[in-house]
Chains A and B, each alone.
Chain A
Amino acid sequence: GAVVSQHPSWVICKSGTSVKIECRSLDFQATTMFWYRQFPKQSLMLMATSNEGSKATYEQGVEKDKFLINHASLTLSTLTVTSAHPEDSSFYICSAAGFTRGKLFFGSGTQLSVL
């Protein structure tokens, strides 16, 4: 089946540094990728939608200058958490939508801890 690879799976960084998370669709072309955040015991929350070759669409309350999304190809989207702070510590997960309507494939997630 289709696979979405997400790296890294776990990262610890110091406050003020930037962290890049990659999401790759390995065997299909993803026209759209979604980035979600999940705090402990909370629902997944959509942060932004990225479409290949165009600017990402951010959900209300998500700072686009802090969470930089790049979707430069049909197989790769990146989320960069800039100037990370402890409150950015969370589980980040991506999903990719292929050309087949309705099939969503999720990455394995990234647990970010900012000290």
Chain B
Amino acid sequence: KNEVEQSPQNLTAQEGEFITINCSYSVGISALHWLQQHPGGGIVSLFMLSSGKKKHGRLIATINIQEKHSSLHITASHPRDSAVYICAVELQGGSEKLVFGKGTKLTVNP
């Protein structure tokens, strides 16, 4: 079993829909990252969370440390949001090493 599990693996939505991507982990962490990987492969860091909730534009990320679960929400989705969204956890110890989920491929249709 992977240490970081994401669901769903694939997600197709219509433009304007509210999107939720889930991430569960089974190890002790110091932080959790949400990353966006575009078709060309480049990766952008969206959020780093250690507790609570963060918002940036139409993106919202939450984390529940007790339940070892995080969610990434996209409001008013747009075709340009189409990408692979990756959850990654930073293991306890402060090394900044990341363990990655397999990613969720999001396709937003116009």
Contact = CB atoms under 8 A, between A and B. Distances in A.
B86 A44 contact: yes
Interface string A16-40: 0000000000000000101000100
Interface string B81-110: 000001010100001111111110000000
B97 A49 contact: yes
A103 B88 CA distance: 13
A32 B102 contact: no
User: B interface, by DSSP: helix, strand, loop or mixed?
Assistant: strand
A13 interface: no
A47 B102 CA distance: 16
B95 A49 contact: yes
User: A interface, by DSSP: helix, strand, loop or mixed?
Assistant: strand
Interface of B: 2, 4, 31, 33, 35, 40-45, 48, 86, 88, 90, 95-103
Interface of A: 32, 34, 38, 41-46, 49, 91, 93, 95, 97, 102-109, 111
